[in-house]
Amino acid sequence: MAVVEQDLILTSEFESIARAVEREIEGVQLELIGGRLAVKRLSDGGHGRILNWLLLLFMPLNPQLFLHVAGQGLAVGTDYRGRARPDGVLAPLDAFAGTGEWAPAEAVAMTVEVTSRGSDSNERDRVEKPIAYAQVEIPIYLLIDRDSAEVVVYSKPNGDKYLDVHRYAIGLEVTLPEPVAVTLDTAPLLDWIR
């Protein structure tokens, strides 16, 4: 991961660099979160299986919301200068139609991240993304932490942080607050976290 000062790289410059890199190197996506330029690589089989499980779970639970798992880019962070590609974005089906590569987060009900095996997962998924998502008032950030075998639910964004953070051991039921308002039985995750 490369670290850059936010004042040294403009969002438009980052977007040009990201487009060029992503066009030339298959399976690589870039993010700019909290001044850090990060490379997001292709996921492994367990990572993908967890996202497919969530996709199938959410489809019948709330017909108004759809879990977008195709790498939808979001403008996040202070003054929307950051750029993130959450593993999943729960929003209305047409929320991103016509918005371009880096959509505003106003229609997003929840972002989802599944930790990867990379060394920067701790900093990016557990520290920087909760701040960036809270700054744009995304109601819920769901982190499936395969390393600690936990599901972490962040809710009630308040500027620079989420006021409520609840940790559940994978295998337990996890209740997601409004606007999602569902309970997930996370027992199937036990097969895919290793």
For 6-26, what is each residue's pLDDT tens digit? Answer: 456 778 888 888 888 878 887
- Quote the pLDDT of residue 138: 98
Q: Please say if the pLDDT value at position 59 is more than 70.
A: yes
Global pTM value? 0.87
Of 72, 122, 113, 66, the residue nearest 94 (C-alpha):
66
For 65-97, what is each residue's pLDDT tens digit? Answer: 999 987 789 999 888 889 999 999 999 999 999
123 band by pLDDT with thresholds 50, 70 and 90: confident
Residue with tokens 């000062």: 5
CATH number for the domain whose boundaries are 44-191: 3.90.1570.10
Domain limits, the chain: 44-191
Q: What is the mean pLDDT of residues 39-61?
A: 84
Q: Are 135 and 153 in contact (CB under 8 A)?
A: no
Q: Dihedral (C-alpha) 57, 61, 65, 71: value to the nearest 10 degrees?
A: 0
Exposed / middle / buried, residue 130 (Cβ in 10 Å: 0-12, 13-18, 19+): buried
Lowest mean pLDDT among 21-30, 52-61, 133-142: 21-30
160 band by pLDDT with thresholds 50, 70 and 90: confident
Percentage of residues in the chain having pLDDT higher than 70 = 91
- Quote the pLDDT of residue 7: 53
Three-state SS string over 111-176 comes to EEEECCCCCCHHHHHHHHHHHHHHHCCCCEEEEEECCCCEEEEEEEECCCCEEEEEEEEECEEEEE
Name the DSSP class of 43.
Answer: P
Q: Please say if the pLDDT value at position 48 is more than 70.
A: yes
Across the chain, mean pLDDT equals: 87
Q: What is the mean pLDDT of residues 154-166?
A: 96
Cα separation, 68 vs 48, in Å, equals 13
Contacts of 13 (CB under 8 A, 6+ apart): none
